[in-house]
């Protein structure tokens, strides 16, 4: 694949201080206390009752220093939520707007500015990394927004504010394997996640979908004539890729007209 770059903005929250590791580990759904410098992980921040307040990536920069990045418009809630229980913990949060360049097809030959975070991707089956920095540009051909969304639907992850919303149930995102640690101690909202997981997952699950006929957002999907799901995102040109919210026990999917819709968990590529 020819290397391409997709430029966008990110809301970033830096967390610094001697209590940063312990405080974040006790608040978010992901393990923090075993991260090494330069490592990134996906995580949720949950309400005490277990619903999603934020979905973000956390990167350890150094001892007591972390960068949390999320979708534009979601950084303020992330900061407010984390500061709500800080009390006397020695940690400082600073909100900023950074640049992100998603590079597809290899980045070794391009010049990367100093103080740029090189973030490994959790996408499946595609050569992809993210570069994060306060002022960032790379000299590569641009990946269009349409191309980027097609890649994301085929290989990437659903996004908060698009395919799932603040207040959603984490178990229904199909991101638990990436964003939740089940071997850590207590964290905010843990009870709901553990309870639903013990019952074999959420009532609905986000799934990657593919169709040879056009799909539209909010279009119903069926199994044996019964509605079992709904399209939440789709490309506008064939083959049609996207995401759908589907009942967890479904074995097949069709459109209302009976056209087959292929689907898979998010950790698989269609």
Task: Pull the structure tokens for residue 165.
Answer: 């919303």
Judge if 139 and 227 occupy the same domain: no
Alpha helices in 62-134 (DSSP H): 75-83
Judge if 151 and 225 occupy the same domain: no
Task: Pull the structure tokens for residue 7.
Answer: 């430029």
Judge if 210 and 148 occupy the same domain: no
Q: Is the pLDDT of residue 20 over 80?
A: yes
Residue 206 has what pLDDT? 97
Least confident of 99-103, 154-158, 181-185: 181-185
Q: What is the CATH number of the domain that holds 71?
A: 3.30.70.1400
Query: pTM value?
Result: 0.95
Taking only the tens place, the pLDDT of each residue in 24-60 is 999 999 999 999 999 999 999 999 999 999 999 999 9
Classified as helix, coil or strand, 204 is: strand
Q: How far apart are CA 25 and CA 238, in angstroms?
A: 43
When divided into structural domains, the chain yields a total of 2
Closest CA to 22 of 94, 90, 92: 90
Strands (E), the chain: 4-16, 40-46, 52-62, 65-70, 92-104, 117-120, 128-133, 204-211, 220-223, 226-234, 240-247, 262-264
Residue 174 has what pLDDT? 95
Within a domain: 83: yes
Residue 261 lies in domain: 203-270
């Amino acid at each position: 694949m020819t290397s391409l770059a997709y430029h966008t903005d990110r809301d970033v929250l830096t967390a610094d201080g001697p209590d940063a590791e312990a405080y974040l580990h006790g608040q978010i759904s992901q393990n923090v206390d075993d991260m090494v410098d330069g490592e990134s992980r996906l995580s949720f921040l949950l309400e005490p009752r277990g619903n999603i307040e934020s979905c973000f990536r956390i990167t350890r920069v150094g001892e007591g220093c972390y960068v949390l990045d999320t979708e534009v418009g979601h950084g303020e809630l992330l900061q407010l939520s984390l500061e709500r229980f800080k009390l006397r913990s020695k940690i400082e949060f600073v909100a900023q707007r950074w640049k992100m360049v998603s590079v597809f097809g290899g980045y070794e030959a391009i010049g990367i500015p100093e103080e740029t975070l090189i973030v490994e991707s959790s996408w499946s089956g595609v050569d992809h990394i993210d570069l994060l920095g306060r002022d960032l540009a790379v000299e590569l051909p641009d990946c269009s927004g349409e191309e980027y969304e097609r890649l994301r639907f085929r290989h990437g992850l659903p996004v908060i504010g698009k395919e799932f919303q603040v207040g959603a149930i984490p178990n229904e995102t199909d991101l638990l394997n990436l964003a939740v640690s089940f071997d850590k101690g207590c964290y905010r909202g843990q009870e709901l996640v553990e309870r639903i997981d013990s019952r074999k997952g959420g009532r609905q699950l986000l799934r990657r979908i593919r169709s040879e006929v056009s799909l539209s957002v909010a279009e119903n999907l069926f199994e044996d004539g019964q509605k079992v799901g709904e399209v939440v995102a789709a490309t506008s040109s064939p083959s049609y890729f996207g995401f759908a919210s589907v009942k967890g026990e479904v074995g097949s999917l069709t459109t209302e007209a009976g056209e087959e819709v292929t689907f898979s968990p998010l950790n698989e590529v269609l």
